[in-house]
Amino acid sequence: MNTDIVKLQTRLRVIQWAGLAFIGLTVIARFVTPWHEVLNGLLIGEVGGAGAVWSMVRQGHLRDNQQGPALMVSGIIGFFTRMILLIAVMVLAIKLPHVNVIAALVGYLLGFVFIVVGLSRSA
């Protein structure tokens, strides 16, 4: 297999595990610290952000040789999937009691931060 593809897959696995570890730390902090509203929002956002990261990784098409219109449609579906996840996170944060809406948005954006930082570091 191509070395670049192996490196990319390794980076994507590191990004996914780092995101899951961050969610785990948030859950632990939720029970230890007194900032329940902020951490509730952060946790909701992180779960939505994990869905967005999954959508971006799944839409990568490393081995299916999609080209042209099929790849464009796949990108559009991924975009709408991430928008629906963002809307769901914000609606949940607004409707649920004891949830900070800004923290939910920050948690959602952390998924994108993990992608950018994980893919931009030098190999």
- Read off the pLDDT of residues 9-34 as tens digits, 9 standing for 90 and up: 888 888 889 999 999 999 999 999 99
With respect to residue 99, please indicate whether it lies within any of the assigned structural domains: yes
pLDDT value at 84 more than 90: yes
With respect to residue 85, please indicate whether it lies within any of the assigned structural domains: yes
pLDDT value at 121 more than 80: no
With respect to residue 6, please indicate whether it lies within any of the assigned structural domains: no
Number of domains, the chain: 1
Domain of residue 73, residue span:
36-120
Question: What are the CB-based long-range contacts (under 8 Å, 24+) for 93-97?
Answer: 93/41, 93/44, 93/45, 96/40, 96/44
Helix segments in the chain, DSSP class H? 3-32, 36-58, 68-95, 101-120
Which pLDDT does position 98 carry in this prediction? Answer: 94
Whole-model pTM: value is 0.84
Bigger pLDDT: 67 vs 98: 98
With respect to residue 4, please indicate whether it lies within any of the assigned structural domains: no
With respect to residue 56, please indicate whether it lies within any of the assigned structural domains: yes
